[in-house]
Amino acid sequence: MGRSDRASDRRKEAVLLMESYTVDGETLLSSLRQAGWKCEAVVVEDDGFLPEGIRSCYGHFLGDLSGGEGTSDWLGQRMEGRPRYFNKINAPQFWQVIGRGNGGQIEDMGKERGRIFYAQPQHKRCVRVVDWLDPAGVVRSSDHYNRFGAVFSRTVFNRRGEKVNRTFFDAQGREVIVENFVTGDVLLREGNVQRVFRDRADFVLYALACMGLGESRLFFNSLSTPFFAALRMKRSNRGDLLFWQEPVRDEIPGNMQLILRDKTPRPTKIVVQKKAAYQRLLELGADPSHLMRLGYCYPFVRGNGHRPEALICTNSDRVEGLGELADALPEVRFHVAALTEMSSRLLGFGNRENVLLYPAARPERICGLFERCDIYLDINRENEILSAVRRAFLSDLLIGAFAETSHAADYAAPEHIFMADDPARMAQWLREIVKDPVRWDEALQRQREQALAETPDAYLKL
């Protein structure tokens, strides 16, 4: 490899520092790597369920927490090398552990003493956090579980339910990191050495240095800890990037204004990854020379086959306009899937010939429906299940929604979102689409433009 090749490779090396690991962060990392970037991904907030290969500022110092046969965590809970099922947490004798669809409870003689929060996907009922309540119903501590079923961290609250500190433990149950939410400082124990950092940003800088990443070009997607860490890094002319993945409301965020006014010690440009956010920043007076609009290289899994098969995933029986749509569009088959049993109200729609119901659908069945259908209707009330809209987008399904039920508007073109009190307009749109493949393809293109779908070449310009 020649000198110019090595220099080119170095130009395409960076650290992606994220406050937490989100779907947008995951898609950004995938986009960078598709374009050939050598990008280490580091997360500040470790929820215990980070995918393999994603590094954690806190986890770096905790060692191997995966456990093994016959081992236990520091609470004495047997580790099985997989997420802990809700009914396998340790609770005081005679207390009842109750699992529900979107969370669980721990009760003592009918009184709530604990709350169980599931990891995604929630239908698997794997424990992410357990809140423990005092007799007055105030949260006094939270146990944080990892993907191996171990408690790796505990947060303590005062009698008003305010955070006091969070402690991280190694596999032997020894305190390794204590973060004080009152003073803001972080205490780290490395063997016989005790280090004190004035705040989380200083701790993150130390963690990056220990990983060998302290002098890297920095990509970050948050104006919180990653931004403050960037302000304290050694000066460099390589050019850091803020990937902005959030909405912009009435004013430009204060920390972003520092970047726009060139007040950061390292040159930084803002890459905006939401269409509406980019337009809003321009409206608020942001200097276009500091901004770049760039979406994602989405990992599409298939193409659209123009089949008049529409999928709806729901966790409730409140599916807006289903009857009206099914009656108006006999040429379209509507597939309604739920992870749980269906109510009599929803089962009643099965009397129509073009409505097929799938109560308590297993994951394999739902995967098959995403393969079979080419339209997705985001028309169910209540929470979204299985990240269904994003999944539909990645499967190249044409997405229609009601404004009142839309769960992920970034994946649906604005002209494909209707009002729930006028399902006839959605029906007319679908009728015109299903009989004209050209219009169908044009609608799909508008959908991709709304989500800012990019090719890897666009990321070579960074």
Q: In 3D, which of 136, 135, 154, 134 has the Cα closest to residue 144?
A: 154
Token pair for residue 363? 């994951």
Q: In 3D, which of 235, 236, 232, 252 has the Cα closest to residue 244?
A: 252
Domain 309-450 -> CATH class: alpha beta
Domain 3-61+200-293 -> CATH class: alpha beta
In this predicted structure, the answer to whether residue 3 has a pLDDT above a threshold of 60 is no
Task: Give the E-state strand segments of 175-301 in sequence order.
Answer: 175-180, 186-190, 193-197, 218-220, 240-244, 268-272, 291-293
Let me know the angle formed at the C-alpha of 51 by 18 and 127, rounded to the nearest 5 degrees.
Answer: 100
Let me know the angle formed at the C-alpha of 284 by 280 and 285, rounded to the nearest 5 degrees.
Answer: 120
In this predicted structure, the answer to whether residue 11 has a pLDDT above a threshold of 80 is no
Q: Are 428 and 329 in contact (CB under 8 A)?
A: no
Q: How confident is the model at residue 7 (pLDDT cuts 50, 70, 90)?
A: very low
Buried-state track 190-206, b at ≥16 Cβ within 10 A, e below 16? eeeeeeebebbbbbbbb
Fill in the DSSP letter of residue 84.
P
Q: What are phi and psi of 143, to 5 degrees?
A: -100, 125
- CATH 3.40.50.2000 location in the chain: 309-450
| pLDDT tens-digit map of 287-305 | 999 999 999 999 999 999 9
What is residue 313's predicted lDDT score, i.e. its pLDDT? 96
Contacts of 218 by beta carbon, 8 Å cutoff, 6+ apart: 14, 15, 17, 226, 229, 230, 233, 240, 241, 266
What is residue 461's predicted lDDT score, i.e. its pLDDT? 83
Percent of the chain past pLDDT 70, that is, above it, reads: 97
What is residue 123's predicted lDDT score, i.e. its pLDDT? 85
Q: In the predicted model, what is the mean pLDDT of residues 303-308?
A: 97
What is residue 4's predicted lDDT score, i.e. its pLDDT? 41
What is residue 69's predicted lDDT score, i.e. its pLDDT? 61
Residue with tokens 């409870």, as numbered in its chain: 105
| pLDDT tens-digit map of 70-90 | 677 777 777 778 999 999 999
Question: What pTM does this model have?
Answer: 0.89
Q: In the predicted model, what is the mean pLDDT of residues 34-57?
A: 95
| pLDDT tens-digit map of 222-269 | 999 999 999 999 877 778 999 999 999 999 999 999 999 999 999 899
Which residues sit opposite 98 in a β-bridge? Answer: 105
| pLDDT tens-digit map of 439-449 | 999 999 999 99
What is residue 121's predicted lDDT score, i.e. its pLDDT? 86
Burial of 225 from C-beta contacts in 10 A (0-12 / 13-18 / 19+) = buried
Fill in the DSSP letter of residue 78.
B
Q: Are 49 and 147 in contact (CB under 8 A)?
A: yes
What average pLDDT is seen over the chain?
A: 92
Q: How confident is the model at residue 363 (pLDDT cuts 50, 70, 90)?
A: confident
What is residue 239's predicted lDDT score, i.e. its pLDDT? 85
Q: In the predicted model, what is the mean pLDDT of residues 414-440?
A: 96
What is residue 292's predicted lDDT score, i.e. its pLDDT? 95
The amino acid at 189: R
